[in-house]
Amino acid sequence: MSVAKVIEINASSPKSVEDAVRSGLKKVSGTVKGIQGAWINETKVVTDGNGEITEWRVNLRVTFLVE
């Protein structure tokens, strides 16, 4: 029997949503082993006041197996 746990993290990138997801997963994989997947719970953008996007932010739920 396998047991999985879900944690929630926030990550950001000036490039794209995909880059924010990748950087978040890379950072969390330094301390969490057995990551099985993740889903984007929320996406947000930060603008410069003129409507130009300066940062992409994601809220991720990351699933990993408990040893």
Condensed to tens digits (0 to 9), the pLDDT of residues 9-61 reads 999 999 999 999 999 999 999 999 999 999 999 999 999 999 999 999 999 99
Class of domain 1-64: alpha beta
Q: How many CB atoms lie within 10 A of CB 26?
A: 10
- What is the rounded distance in angstroms from the CA atom of residue 56 to the CA atom of residue 13? 5
Q: Is a pLDDT exceeding 90 seen at residue 1?
A: no
For the chain, give every domain's residue range. Answer: 1-64
